[in-house]
């Protein structure tokens, strides 16, 4: 009697006996990913309801925070490695080492993919970055080298250091394998990852219908790759750069110069850009940004305060917990939607999750309150 009761409880229909119950027919083809690498890409496109309702436009976010390595950089790390393998610069399980200068997500994506392919990752980063970043990379089995913060012209700068380390490795008669410098800023495999993946996915997910694409630029790979794929298909598509405060790219797009002397943008700072936003904003034009720069129609500058307000708004209204660059993208997407007027479709990137930004961006953004709710106008006037 006990067995029958359990069977009744498991069945939606208590009157059905286990013998009568049939398994639903299985699909003809299996759906199994062959390891981590096959889980990269094909992320959902989410209608961000609170932003769409408030603007009268459809604002869609590509959910890159759902990638296995937690960010949009998985696609890039995979493409950098695959291209190097195709060119004979890396051989799986050979003791080869991948060197990269990064302060963020690229290091995590490289660290996990190096493990998946049988390489070691050596990541150079400035020593003023939060300890949790280097801890995470160490946990993933990457070698982490922390160097003093320095401008790009300095040989000790983290990207230059990674390049030098890869050269030392390759020349050394003692260290096994070769040293490959991934070089996400200048290596054009980066924008090609988005040209082959992110761009076509967005086009298909939208059924070929979109009016605007908005994204920030760190290396520039995302905006260039997506723009280069979409623009030939959709000549009227507007491409908008979302740029955090302190970055030089806004002026480059709007006025054709990197620095506006009136704003002291070009003054030498220890920090590269003066913002709490991580991953986007830069004061030089990289090969990956240049690859798509002529296709960018406009730029919107986003302040830290409005980005923090947007991040809280997205949680408050929809439980969408995003990182700092995604929040900047959403502010710029909303401003673009308001400029274009109701009825348009604007697509942006949700680059990573808020969990990567707890100690910096979200520490400053504060907790999301229980009762009182912000309006979008309040977000934009923060
Ligand atoms: N958001 C985050 C969190 C990032 O790490 C990056 C990459 N630096 C970006 C956005 C910008 O992407 P891209 O390098 O393709 O311009």
Give the pLDDT band of residue 13 (cuts 50, 70, 90): low
Q: In what order do the strands lie in the sheet with 120-126?
A: 143-147, 120-126, 97-101, 179-181
What is the per-residue pLDDT for 14? 59
Q: Is 244 in the pocket of ligand 1 (CB under 6 A)?
A: no
What is the per-residue pLDDT for 226? 98
Backbone phi and psi for residue 305, each to the nearest 5 degrees, phi listed first: -65, -45
Centre of ligand 1 to C-alpha 71, Å, is 8
Question: Does 206 score more than 60 pLDDT?
Answer: yes
Probe ligand 1: pick from 222, 284, 327, 362, max atoms within 8 Å of CB? Answer: 222
Give the separation between CA 304 and CA 328, rounded to whole angstroms. 8
Give the residue with greater pLDDT, 16 vs 148.
Answer: 148
Q: Give the residue among 258, 219, 206, 173 at the shortest CA–CA distance from 79.
A: 219
Q: Is 218 in the pocket of ligand 1 (CB under 6 A)?
A: yes
% of the chain surpassing 90 pLDDT:
78
Give the pLDDT band of residue 20 (cuts 50, 70, 90): low
What is the per-residue pLDDT for 179? 96
Indicate which residue of 62, 73, 192, 231 is catalytic. 73
Residue having the nearest C-alpha atom to atom 7 of ligand 1? 279
- Give me the residue label for tokens 């299996």: 30
Centre of ligand 1 to C-alpha 5, Å, is 55
Decide if 97 is catalytic.
no
Average pLDDT over residues 239-265: 83
Give the separation between CA 275 and CA 285, rounded to whole angstroms. 18
Give the pLDDT band of residue 128 (cuts 50, 70, 90): confident
> Per-residue pLDDT tens for 326-350?
999 999 999 999 999 999 999 999 9
What is the per-residue pLDDT for 257? 86
> Per-residue pLDDT tens for 68-115?
999 999 999 999 999 999 999 999 998 899 999 998 899 999 999 999
Helical residues (DSSP H) of 11-153, grouped into ranges: 49-55, 73-86, 105-117, 131-139
Average pLDDT over residues 309-325: 97
Rg (CA), the chain: 23
% of the chain surpassing 70 pLDDT:
91
Q: Is 217 in the pocket of ligand 1 (CB under 6 A)?
A: yes
Strands (E), 182-275: 212-215, 238-244
Average pLDDT over residues 8-15: 65
Backbone phi and psi for residue 206, each to the nearest 5 degrees, phi listed first: -90, 5
Question: Does 273 score more than 70 pLDDT?
Answer: no
> Per-residue pLDDT tens for 57-75?
999 999 999 999 999 999 9
- Give me the residue label for tokens 């700068």: 157
What is the per-residue pLDDT for 267? 47
- Give 157's strand partners: none
What is the per-residue pLDDT for 300? 98
Give the separation between CA 215 and CA 350, rounded to whole angstroms. 9
Q: Is 323 in the pocket of ligand 1 (CB under 6 A)?
A: yes
Centre of ligand 1 to C-alpha 223, Å, is 10
What is the per-residue pLDDT for 372? 74
- 198 torsion bin: left (phi>0), alpha (psi -120 to 50), beta (else): alpha
ipTM over 0.90 threshold: yes
Question: Does 265 score more than 50 pLDDT?
Answer: no
Give the residue with greater pLDDT, 266 vs 301.
Answer: 301
Residue 256: count of CB within 10 angstroms of its CB: 7
Q: Across all residues in the chain, what is the average pLDDT?
A: 91
What is the per-residue pLDDT for 152? 83
On the 0-12 / 13-18 / 19+ scale of CB atoms within 10 A, 234 is middle
Q: Is 351 in the pocket of ligand 1 (CB under 6 A)?
A: yes
What is the per-residue pLDDT for 1? 52
3-state secondary structure of 228: helix
């Amino acid at each position: 009697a006990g067995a029958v009761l359990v069977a009744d409880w498991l069945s939606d229909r208590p009157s059905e006996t286990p013998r009568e119950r049939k398994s639903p027919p299985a699909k003809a083809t299996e759906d199994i990913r062959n390891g981590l690498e096959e889980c990269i890409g094909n992320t959902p496109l989410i209608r961000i309801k609170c932003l769409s309702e408030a603007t009268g436009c459809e604002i869609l976010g590509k959910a890159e925070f759902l990638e296995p390595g937690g960010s949009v950089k998985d696609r890039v790390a995979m493409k950098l490695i695959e291209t190097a393998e195709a060119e004979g610069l890396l051989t799986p399980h050979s003791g080869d080492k991948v060197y990269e200068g990064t302060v963020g997500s690229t290091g995590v994506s490289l660290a996990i993919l190096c493990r998946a392919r049988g390489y070691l990752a050596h990541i150079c980063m400035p020593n003023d970055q939060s300890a949790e970043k280097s801890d995470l990379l160490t946990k993933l089995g990457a070698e982490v080298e922390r160097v003093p913060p320095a401008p790009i012209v300095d040989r000790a700068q983290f990207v230059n250091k990674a390049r030098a380390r890869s050269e030392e490795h390759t020349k050394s008669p003692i260290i096994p394998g070769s040293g490959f410098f991934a070089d996400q800023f200048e290596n054009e495999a980066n924008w090609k990852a988005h040209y082959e993946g992110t761009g076509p996915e967005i086009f298909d997910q939208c059924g070929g219908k979109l009016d605007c694409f908005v994204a920030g630029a760190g290396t520039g790979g995302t905006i260039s790759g997506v723009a280069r794929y979409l623009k030939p298909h959709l000549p009227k598509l507007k491409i908008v750069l979302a740029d955090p405060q302190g970055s030089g790219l806004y002026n480059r797009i709007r006025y054709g110069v990197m620095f506006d002397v009136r704003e002291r943008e070009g003054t030498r700072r220890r920090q590269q850009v003066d913002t709490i936003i991580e991953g986007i904003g830069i004061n030089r034009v990289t090969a990956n940004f240049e690859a798509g720069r002529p296709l960018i129609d406009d730029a919107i500058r986003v302040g830290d305060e409005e980005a923090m307000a947007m991040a809280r708004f997205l949680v408050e209204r929809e439980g969408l917990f995003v990182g700092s660059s995604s929040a900047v993208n959403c502010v710029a997407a909303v401003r673009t939607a308001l400029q274009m007027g109701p009825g348009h479709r604007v697509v942006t990137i949700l680059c990573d999750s808020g969990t990567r930004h707890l100690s910096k961006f979200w520490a400053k953004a504060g907790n999301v309150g229980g009762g009182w709710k912000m309006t979008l106008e309040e977000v934009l006037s923060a």
